[in-house]
Homo-oligomer: A and B are copies of this chain.
Amino acid sequence: MLADFGVLDGFGHVSARDPKNPNHFLMSRSLAPALVTADDIMEFDLDGNAVDARGRQVFLERFIHSEIYKARPDVMAVVHTHSPGVIPFGVSQMALRPMFHNAAFLGAGVPVWDIRKEFGETDMLVRDSARGKSLATTLGDKPVVLMRGHGDVTVAPSVRMAVFRAYYTDVDAKLQAQAIGLGGEINYLTPGEGAKADTINFVVLDRIWNLWKMRVAPGLPK
Protein backbone atom coordinates (compact mmCIF):
# COMPACT_ATOMS: atom_id res chain seq x y z
CA MET A 1 0.00 0.00 0.00
CA LEU A 2 2.68 2.50 1.01
CA ALA A 3 4.63 1.74 -2.16
CA ASP A 4 1.46 2.41 -4.10
CA PHE A 5 1.16 5.89 -2.51
CA GLY A 6 4.82 6.77 -3.04
CA VAL A 7 5.43 6.80 0.73
CA LEU A 8 7.83 3.92 0.28
CA ASP A 9 9.92 3.42 -2.87
CA GLY A 10 12.61 0.76 -3.21
CA PHE A 11 13.69 1.40 0.36
CA GLY A 12 11.98 1.51 3.78
CA HIS A 13 10.49 -1.38 5.74
CA VAL A 14 7.53 -2.46 7.84
CA SER A 15 7.67 -4.75 10.87
CA ALA A 16 5.29 -6.24 13.43
CA ARG A 17 5.95 -7.51 16.93
CA ASP A 18 5.27 -11.24 17.11
CA PRO A 19 1.84 -11.47 18.78
CA LYS A 20 2.82 -14.81 20.36
CA ASN A 21 6.29 -13.73 21.54
CA PRO A 22 6.69 -10.05 22.46
CA ASN A 23 10.49 -10.44 22.40
CA HIS A 24 10.49 -11.24 18.69
CA PHE A 25 9.40 -9.27 15.66
CA LEU A 26 8.65 -10.09 12.04
CA MET A 27 10.15 -8.27 9.06
CA SER A 28 10.99 -9.11 5.46
CA ARG A 29 14.43 -10.02 4.19
CA SER A 30 16.29 -7.18 2.42
CA LEU A 31 13.95 -6.44 -0.47
CA ALA A 32 11.96 -3.57 -1.94
CA PRO A 33 8.68 -3.49 0.06
CA ALA A 34 6.50 -3.80 -3.04
CA LEU A 35 8.13 -7.14 -3.89
CA VAL A 36 7.74 -8.78 -0.46
CA THR A 37 5.66 -11.96 -0.25
CA ALA A 38 4.89 -14.17 2.75
CA ASP A 39 7.96 -16.34 2.12
CA ASP A 40 10.24 -13.32 2.59
CA ILE A 41 9.18 -12.70 6.20
CA MET A 42 11.89 -13.40 8.79
CA GLU A 43 11.84 -13.46 12.59
CA PHE A 44 14.22 -11.36 14.71
CA ASP A 45 14.96 -10.99 18.42
CA LEU A 46 15.21 -7.61 20.13
CA ASP A 47 18.96 -7.43 19.52
CA GLY A 48 18.30 -7.57 15.78
CA ASN A 49 19.49 -11.17 15.33
CA ALA A 50 17.66 -13.30 12.79
CA VAL A 51 16.18 -16.38 14.46
CA ASP A 52 16.44 -18.61 11.40
CA ALA A 53 18.20 -16.72 8.62
CA ARG A 54 18.61 -19.63 6.18
CA GLY A 55 21.01 -17.52 4.15
CA ARG A 56 18.57 -14.73 3.54
CA GLN A 57 20.03 -11.19 3.49
CA VAL A 58 18.77 -8.94 6.31
CA PHE A 59 18.24 -5.19 6.39
CA LEU A 60 21.19 -3.19 7.71
CA GLU A 61 18.72 -1.00 9.56
CA ARG A 62 16.81 -3.69 11.48
CA PHE A 63 18.06 -1.97 14.66
CA ILE A 64 15.48 0.80 14.11
CA HIS A 65 12.89 -1.85 14.82
CA SER A 66 14.60 -3.92 17.51
CA GLU A 67 15.47 -0.97 19.72
CA ILE A 68 12.02 0.58 19.47
CA TYR A 69 10.34 -2.73 20.39
CA LYS A 70 12.75 -2.95 23.33
CA ALA A 71 12.03 0.58 24.56
CA ARG A 72 8.30 0.70 23.86
CA PRO A 73 6.26 -2.29 25.06
CA ASP A 74 3.10 -0.61 23.73
CA VAL A 75 4.40 -0.62 20.15
CA MET A 76 3.24 -3.56 18.03
CA ALA A 77 4.31 -2.24 14.60
CA VAL A 78 7.03 -0.01 13.15
CA VAL A 79 7.23 1.61 9.70
CA HIS A 80 10.40 3.26 8.38
CA THR A 81 10.10 5.41 5.23
CA HIS A 82 12.00 7.92 3.08
CA SER A 83 8.69 9.59 2.30
CA PRO A 84 9.10 12.77 0.24
CA GLY A 85 6.83 14.89 2.42
CA VAL A 86 8.85 14.46 5.60
CA ILE A 87 12.42 14.77 4.33
CA PRO A 88 12.24 18.58 4.05
CA PHE A 89 11.00 18.81 7.65
CA GLY A 90 13.81 16.54 8.87
CA VAL A 91 16.46 19.03 7.68
CA SER A 92 14.51 22.18 8.54
CA GLN A 93 14.04 24.19 11.72
CA MET A 94 10.30 24.18 11.05
CA ALA A 95 8.48 21.70 13.31
CA LEU A 96 6.01 19.29 11.73
CA ARG A 97 2.54 19.93 13.17
CA PRO A 98 -1.00 18.63 12.66
CA MET A 99 -2.91 20.36 9.87
CA PHE A 100 -6.09 18.30 10.13
CA HIS A 101 -7.75 15.57 12.17
CA ASN A 102 -6.44 12.61 10.16
CA ALA A 103 -2.94 13.63 11.26
CA ALA A 104 -4.06 14.38 14.81
CA PHE A 105 -1.43 12.00 16.22
CA LEU A 106 1.20 14.63 15.31
CA GLY A 107 -0.27 16.86 18.02
CA ALA A 108 1.84 15.02 20.59
CA GLY A 109 4.92 16.67 19.02
CA VAL A 110 7.29 15.34 16.35
CA PRO A 111 10.93 15.08 17.46
CA VAL A 112 13.79 15.14 14.94
CA TRP A 113 16.70 12.74 15.39
CA ASP A 114 20.02 13.97 13.98
CA ILE A 115 22.47 11.07 13.81
CA ARG A 116 25.40 13.52 13.64
CA LYS A 117 24.83 14.85 17.15
CA GLU A 118 25.82 11.64 18.86
CA PHE A 119 27.74 9.74 16.16
CA GLY A 120 29.49 12.43 14.09
CA GLU A 121 29.82 12.04 10.32
CA THR A 122 28.37 8.65 9.43
CA ASP A 123 26.86 6.84 6.44
CA MET A 124 23.49 7.99 7.92
CA LEU A 125 22.30 4.43 8.58
CA VAL A 126 20.95 2.98 11.82
CA ARG A 127 23.27 0.03 11.44
CA ASP A 128 23.79 -1.02 15.07
CA SER A 129 22.05 -1.18 18.44
CA ALA A 130 23.65 2.02 19.73
CA ARG A 131 22.20 4.07 16.88
CA GLY A 132 18.85 2.32 17.21
CA LYS A 133 18.75 3.03 20.92
CA SER A 134 19.58 6.70 20.34
CA LEU A 135 16.75 6.95 17.82
CA ALA A 136 14.32 5.20 20.19
CA THR A 137 15.30 7.63 22.94
CA THR A 138 14.52 10.61 20.72
CA LEU A 139 11.21 9.02 19.71
CA GLY A 140 10.31 8.77 23.41
CA ASP A 141 6.60 8.13 23.90
CA LYS A 142 5.60 9.76 20.58
CA PRO A 143 4.09 8.07 17.53
CA VAL A 144 6.49 9.60 14.96
CA VAL A 145 10.14 10.59 14.81
CA LEU A 146 11.81 12.33 11.86
CA MET A 147 15.35 11.28 10.92
CA ARG A 148 17.44 14.15 9.58
CA GLY A 149 18.68 13.55 6.02
CA HIS A 150 16.96 10.21 5.92
CA GLY A 151 13.19 9.86 6.52
CA ASP A 152 10.91 8.96 9.40
CA VAL A 153 9.65 6.18 11.66
CA THR A 154 6.05 5.72 12.76
CA VAL A 155 4.93 3.36 15.51
CA ALA A 156 1.50 2.14 16.59
CA PRO A 157 -0.41 -0.58 18.42
CA SER A 158 -1.12 -2.32 15.06
CA VAL A 159 0.30 -2.61 11.56
CA ARG A 160 -2.79 -0.93 10.18
CA MET A 161 -2.35 2.10 12.39
CA ALA A 162 1.41 2.33 11.78
CA VAL A 163 0.70 2.35 8.03
CA PHE A 164 -2.10 4.91 8.50
CA ARG A 165 0.33 7.12 10.41
CA ALA A 166 3.11 6.77 7.84
CA TYR A 167 0.65 7.78 5.13
CA TYR A 168 -0.90 10.74 6.97
CA THR A 169 2.46 11.98 8.24
CA ASP A 170 3.50 12.32 4.61
CA VAL A 171 0.20 13.95 3.63
CA ASP A 172 0.31 16.36 6.57
CA ALA A 173 3.87 17.43 5.80
CA LYS A 174 2.93 18.34 2.23
CA LEU A 175 -0.13 20.27 3.42
CA GLN A 176 1.87 22.16 6.02
CA ALA A 177 4.46 23.13 3.41
CA GLN A 178 1.65 24.51 1.25
CA ALA A 179 0.11 26.41 4.15
CA ILE A 180 3.49 27.98 4.98
CA GLY A 181 3.65 29.12 1.35
CA LEU A 182 0.42 31.07 1.83
CA GLY A 183 2.10 33.26 4.46
CA GLY A 184 0.84 34.37 7.87
CA GLU A 185 -0.08 32.48 11.04
CA ILE A 186 -1.28 28.87 10.76
CA ASN A 187 -4.11 27.63 12.96
CA TYR A 188 -2.81 24.12 13.73
CA LEU A 189 -4.70 21.54 15.77
CA THR A 190 -3.96 22.14 19.44
CA PRO A 191 -2.51 19.27 21.50
CA GLY A 192 -5.95 18.85 23.11
CA GLU A 193 -7.68 18.64 19.73
CA GLY A 194 -4.98 16.26 18.54
CA ALA A 195 -5.52 13.85 21.42
CA LYS A 196 -9.31 13.85 21.02
CA ALA A 197 -9.27 13.56 17.23
CA ASP A 198 -6.75 10.73 17.28
CA THR A 199 -9.17 8.50 19.16
CA ILE A 200 -11.50 8.86 16.17
CA ASN A 201 -8.77 7.70 13.80
CA PHE A 202 -8.85 4.33 15.57
CA VAL A 203 -12.61 4.17 15.04
CA VAL A 204 -12.50 4.91 11.30
CA LEU A 205 -9.24 3.12 10.48
CA ASP A 206 -10.87 0.10 8.86
CA ARG A 207 -12.89 2.28 6.51
CA ILE A 208 -9.77 3.52 4.73
CA TRP A 209 -7.91 0.24 5.21
CA ASN A 210 -10.60 -1.60 3.25
CA LEU A 211 -10.32 0.95 0.47
CA TRP A 212 -6.52 0.60 0.30
CA LYS A 213 -6.73 -3.19 0.35
CA MET A 214 -9.22 -3.10 -2.49
CA ARG A 215 -6.87 -0.87 -4.48
CA VAL A 216 -3.66 -2.85 -4.11
CA ALA A 217 -5.18 -6.33 -3.98
CA PRO A 218 -8.68 -6.25 -5.47
CA GLY A 219 -9.08 -10.00 -5.18
CA LEU A 220 -8.56 -10.33 -1.41
CA PRO A 221 -11.57 -10.89 0.89
CA LYS A 222 -12.68 -7.71 2.70
Contact = CB atoms under 8 A, between A and B. Distances in A.
Interface of A: 9-11, 30-32, 34-35, 60, 82, 84, 87-94, 98-102, 104, 114, 116, 121-125, 148-151, 171, 174-190, 192-193, 196-197, 199-200, 204, 207-212, 214
A149 B97 CA distance: 11
The listed residue with most B CB atoms (<10 A of its CB), out of A123, A181, A188, is: A123
B181 A181 contact: yes
B122 A193 contact: yes
B123 A197 contact: yes
Given A32-B207, A187-B91, A125 B149 contact: no
Contacts of A209: 10
A84 B171 contact: yes
A89 to B, nearest CB: 7
A100 B182 contact: no
A101 B82 CA distance: 10
A185 B93 CA distance: 7
Contacts of A190: 116, 121
A167 B184 CA distance: 26
A125 B32 CA distance: 38
B99 A124 contact: no
Contact of A150 (B34, B100, B174, B188): B100
Contact of A174 (B84, B89, B116, B187): B84
28 contacts: A10-B204, A10-B211, A11-B207, A32-B207, A32-B211, A82-B100, A84-B174, A87-B99, A88-B176, A88-B178, A88-B182, A89-B182, A100-B124, A100-B150, A101-B125, A101-B149, A104-B124, A116-B190, A116-B193, A121-B190, A122-B193, A123-B193, A124-B193, A124-B196, A149-B187, A149-B193, A177-B178, A180-B183
B82 A196 contact: no
A93 to B, nearest CB: 4
Contact of A91 (B90, B150, B179): B179
